[in-house]
Amino acid sequence: MEITDTGILCSGIKEGKLGLALAKCSGNVAGLFTKNSIKAAPVRICEENIADGKIEGLIVNSGNANAFTGEKGLEDAMEMCKIAAELLKCNTKDIAIASTGVIGRKLDMEWIRKKAVEVYHDLGNSKQHADKFGKAIMTTDKFLKKAHSEKAKISAVAKGAGMIAPNLATMLCFIFTTAKFDSGELYEMLKTAAENSFNRLTVDGDTSTNDTVLLISTCKDKVDRDMFSEELTKVCRSLAYQIARDGEGATRVFTVRVMGAEDDEIAARIAKAVASSLLVKTAIFGRDPNWGRIVAAVGYTANVDEKISISFLANSEVTLVDRGIILGNEEKAKKLMEENEEFEILIDLHRGTGEGFAIGCDLSHDYVKLNSAYTT
Amino acid sequence: MEITDTGILCSGIKEGKLGLALAKCSGNVAGLFTKNSIKAAPVRICEENIADGKIEGLIVNSGNANAFTGEKGLEDAMEMCKIAAELLKCNTKDIAIASTGVIGRKLDMEWIRKKAVEVYHDLGNSKQHADKFGKAIMTTDKFLKKAHSEKAKISAVAKGAGMIAPNLATMLCFIFTTAKFDSGELYEMLKTAAENSFNRLTVDGDTSTNDTVLLISTCKDKVDRDMFSEELTKVCRSLAYQIARDGEGATRVFTVRVMGAEDDEIAARIAKAVASSLLVKTAIFGRDPNWGRIVAAVGYTANVDEKISISFLANSEVTLVDRGIILGNEEKAKKLMEENEEFEILIDLHRGTGEGFAIGCDLSHDYVKLNSAYTT
C-alpha cells in the first residue's frame, strides 16, 4: 500500500543534493516536532499552520534545513507555504511544511519556486508519484523507510535517523490515512505511537533542529479507534527500526528491554542509557556479548544492585547473568549476535514491576568515517 | 618530583596483564569514589577503611577489577587488605585498596599473595620504585599520567580514562603530599579539585565501577591552605587532560567553555553535552569546525535561542558565529584545529552570567577498533 493509496496526490523532484516534494492532501492533521530549543524555521511555521487541525497541502525540501537562519529563515518558510498554497489554490495557513539538510544556510528560493511549479504539474496518485515524493525528501538515507497497515488504512514514509548525517538535520515522517478522526484524536494516537517507537530510538543521542512527524487523514473511511491506534504504533515501530537499520554505518539493530525496575520511568531511562552507551554500541559491532559494559551502564544510570539478570534474545534465548550469577554463555551469545541482524537485550533488575525499552544500533568504523570525513 | 619524594615507600610488579602495587604511606587520607551504583568490592572496602581519615598503606591490583563479584569479591578485597596489613605491620582497617581491570572475574588470590610479598621486599623511595608502582597500576594506558606541584609539595599519578578500555574499569588516581592537613580539610580541597578537573572530563560518558581518587598526606610540612588548594586543582586538571589525551584513539583534546548561561548549572550541562556529542566528537576528529552540530547539542540540552556566539581558541581566536550571525570563518578554524592538539570551544549564550566547562576528546576510527575488537 503506497501513500497515494490514501487518496492524496503527490510528486517530487531531486537534483543533486536538493529535493522538493509536494502533496495535495485535504483533511485533518496532527503533528509532533523536535524538542530541540533551536527549532528550524519550517518547524515553527508548521506548528502554527497545523494548530487548527486542518490541512490542504504539504511542501518539503531536502538538502537545506533552513535552521539557524534567523528572521530570513522564517520569511522563507512562510514564502514556501505561500508558493504551495497558490499552486494548490488554498489558504497559506493550511499548508504544512518541513525541511531537512544542512544547518545555517539560506534557502535558494528561486530554485524552490521553480521546482514547486514543476512538481505541481506532475502531481498524481500512482506508485511512481509516491516514489518521486519519497526520493525528494531523502538526504543521506540509503533507502526510504516505508510502512503501512491495510486494515487501518495507513501508509507512511520516513527519512533520516536523528542527526545521523554530517551537519544534516533530521528525521521526517509523513503518515497518511483515510481513517476518519478529528485532529485531537489523531494527536492523541500519534503521541502514543511515537512514545513507543521514535522516542525510544537512539542512534547517536543527538536530537535535530528539524524533526517532524505528521499524521494526515483524508477522512474517507470509518475505522475502529483502538485498532487504528494499535496499527499506527506498529507502523511507527516499523519505521523506527528501519531508521535504526539505516543509522550511519550500523550493522546491527537491537532493542534493550528492561523489566523489574522500581517504576517504568527508571526502566526506560536505563534502557536508553544502555542503548546509547558507546562501549555497548562498539561491543555489539564487535559481536561481543559484553555484559560487563551493560552492567556498568545500568549502574551509572540508576540505583541497582548486583542481582541483575541479562539475556540476549533472537531465534533463541541466551542468559549470560542470572540474578548476579555469571553463567559463562558468552560463546552462545556471540553466535546469536553473528546470526541475527536484530536481537533483544533483556535486563531484569528484580526490584519491582517497572518496564521500558529502547531501540539502538551499533557503532561501526563507518559511523566515524561518515561523520568525520565531511567538511562544512 | 616523584611520588616517592613525599616520603612514601612503594614498588610494584607487572606480569602480563596483571599488576600489583604496594605503598607504605603513613598519614591522613581523603577519597572520592565512583558514583556508579554497582560499586566494585575494593571501592566499598576502601570507602570503609579510609572513613576515619587515617592510612598506613595502599594496595592496588590491575588486570582484574574485582567488580560484580558478589560476596566472594568483598572477601577477596578484605583479604588483600589483610595481606598488605600483615606485611606493613599495621591494622587492616588502615589499608586503602583499589582494583582496575576486567569486570566479573574472581581474583587470583594466590598470585596476589605471592606478588605482595615480592613487592613488599622491594619497597623503596627512588624514582625506580615510583616507576614500578606506576607501571603496576596501568592497564591499556599508553602512558602513566603524572603531575606535581613543587611549592605545594604534591606528586600524583593516575591511570585510565573512565571506562575507556574493553570491559575494563577505571580511572585510578593517587595523590601524595607532605602538606599537613587533617582528613576533613583534604576531603574539602579534593572535592573542589575533582569538581574542576576529573568531573569535567567526558571520554565516552561511561562511569566505571571502580573509579577511585585518593589524596594521601604524610603530614611532614606546613603549607598554606589556599595555595595548596589551588595547586591541587592544577595537578588534577593536568591529570584530567592527560587522561583525555590517552582516551582510546584520541587525537585531539578540547575544552568546551560555556558563558552567558542563566546559571552555572545550565552552563556546565551544556558544556558536557557538547563535549559528549558523538557528532561533535567525530567532526573534531575530521578537523571540521562544524558549529551546526554544536548549535544542535546546545539546543537539545537547554532552552536557548539563536543569538549564540561560537569561537575556537588556541594560538589564535576564530569566531564562527557572532550572536547568531554566521561569519564564514570555517577555513581559519579548520587550520586552528589542524595545528593545535589542544584547543577551546567557547560558546556564549548571551542570556546571563552562568559559566561552566567540560573537557573532551575526539572520536576516531581507533576508538571503534579498540572497543569492538575485544572479545569477552
Q: Which of A291, A279, A317 is nearest to B105 (CA)?
A: A291
Cell output for B230: 589551588
Residues B170, B123 share a domain:
yes
Gap between the Cα atoms of A77 and A96, Å rounded: 10
For A87-131, how does the pLDDT look when each residue is reduced to its tens digit (9 = 90+)?
999 999 999 999 998 888 999 999 999 999 999 999 999 999 999
For A335-370, how does the pLDDT look when each residue is reduced to its tens digit (9 = 90+)?
999 999 999 999 999 999 999 999 988 988 777 777
Residue B256 has pLDDT above 90, yes or no: yes
Looking at chain B, which residue has its C-alpha nearest residue A282?
B372
How would you classify residue B76: left for phi > 0, otherwise alpha for psi between -120 and 50, otherwise beta?
A: alpha
pLDDT value of position B366: 79
What is the CATH classification number for the domain harbouring A58?
3.60.70.12
- DSSP secondary-structure letter at B207? P
Q: Which of B240, B253, B255, B229 is nearest to B173 (CA)?
A: B240
Interface test with A, best of B33, B44, B206 (most A CBs within 10 A): B206
* CB of B169 closer than 8 Å to CB of B40: yes
Could you give the count of Cα atoms lying within 13 Å of B156 in the half-sphere of its Cβ? Answer: 29
Q: What share of chain A is helix, strand, coil (3-state, %, to 5)?
A: 40, 30, 30
Residues B175, B291 share a domain:
no
Place of cell 541497582: A304
Contact state of B376 with A35 under an 8 Å Cβ cutoff: no
Looking at chain B, which residue has its C-alpha nearest residue A370?
B282
DSSP secondary structure string, B254-294?
EEEEEEEESSHHHHHHHHHHHHH-HHHHHHHHTT---HHHH
Contact state of B206 with A293 under an 8 Å Cβ cutoff: yes
Residue B138 has pLDDT above 60, yes or no: yes
Residue A201 has pLDDT above 90, yes or no: no
Burial group, residue A142, by CB count within 10 angstroms (0-12, 13-18, 19+): exposed
For B266-312, how does the pLDDT look when each residue is reduced to its tens digit (9 = 90+)?
999 999 999 988 889 889 999 999 898 899 889 989 999 989 999 99
Q: Which of A15, A112, A135, A131 is nearest to A59 (CA)?
A: A112
**Size of chain B in residues:** 376
- DSSP secondary-structure letter at A159? E
- Beta-carbon contacts of residue A267 (< 8 Å; ≥ 6 apart): A258, A259, A261, A349, A354, A355, A356
> Can you state the angle between helices B278-285 and A365-372, rounded to 10 degrees?
70
Q: Does A155 touch chain B (CB under 8 A)?
A: no
Contact state of B163 with A296 under an 8 Å Cβ cutoff: yes
Q: Does the active-site annotation cover A170?
A: yes
Distance from CA of A245 to the nearest CA of B (A): 18
Q: Does B199 touch chain A (CB under 8 A)?
A: no
- Beta-carbon contacts of residue B110 (< 8 Å; ≥ 6 apart): none
At which of B196, B211, B245 does a domain end? B245
* CB of B314 closer than 8 Å to CB of B336: yes
Residues B88, B144 share a domain:
yes
pLDDT value of position B170: 73
Total count of domains within chain A: 2
Grade residue B165 by pLDDT with cuts at 50, 70 and 90.
very low
Comparison of pLDDT for B184 and B200, the residue scoring more? B184
pLDDT value of position B321: 96
Kindly report the average pLDDT of chain A as a whole number.
92
Residues A359, A294 share a domain:
yes
Grade residue A168 by pLDDT with cuts at 50, 70 and 90.
very low
Q: Does A322 touch chain B (CB under 8 A)?
A: no
Residues B204, B79 share a domain:
yes
pLDDT value of position A55: 98
Mean pLDDT of A311-323: 96
Grade residue A300 by pLDDT with cuts at 50, 70 and 90.
confident
Residue A184 has pLDDT above 60, yes or no: yes
Place of cell 522538493: A20
For B328-341, how does the pLDDT look when each residue is reduced to its tens digit (9 = 90+)?
999 999 999 999 99
Residues B125, B33 share a domain:
yes
Cell output for B367: 576508538
Residues B114, B14 share a domain:
yes
Q: According to the per-residue pLDDT averaged within each range, which of A239-248, B203-212, B316-325 is highest?
A: B316-325
Residues B267, B237 share a domain:
no
Residue A162 has pLDDT above 90, yes or no: no
Residue B148, H or E segment: strand B145-149
* CB of A67 closer than 8 Å to CB of A107: no
Strands B154-159 and B145-149: antiparallel
Residue B158 has pLDDT above 50, yes or no: yes
pLDDT value of position B260: 98
What is the CATH classification number for the domain harbouring A318?
3.10.20.340
Q: Which of B190, B194, B169, B171 is nearest to B181 (CA)?
A: B190
pLDDT value of position B244: 86
CB-CB neighbors (< 8 A) of A66 in chain B:
none
pLDDT value of position A169: 52
A197 is in which domain, residue-wise? 3-245
At which of B211, B245, B279 does a domain end? B245
- Beta-carbon contacts of residue A83 (< 8 Å; ≥ 6 apart): A59, A112, A113, A116
Residues B283, B213 share a domain:
no
Mean pLDDT of A233-262: 91
Q: Percentage of chain A surpassing pLDDT 90?
A: 77
Interface test with A, best of B68, B99, B171, B262 (most A CBs within 10 A): B68
At which of A245, A267, A297 does a domain end? A245
* CB of A168 closer than 8 Å to CB of A66: no
DSSP secondary structure string, B159-170?
E--SS-STTEE-
Other C-beta atoms closer than 10 Å to the C-beta of B125 total 18
pLDDT value of position B166: 40
pLDDT value of position A167: 44
Q: What is the ipTM of this complex?
A: 0.81
Residues B98, B33 share a domain:
yes
- DSSP secondary-structure letter at A249? T
Grade residue B109 by pLDDT with cuts at 50, 70 and 90.
very high
Residues B115, B50 share a domain:
yes
Residues A31, A176 share a domain:
yes
CA angle A275, A276, A277 (to 5 degrees): 100
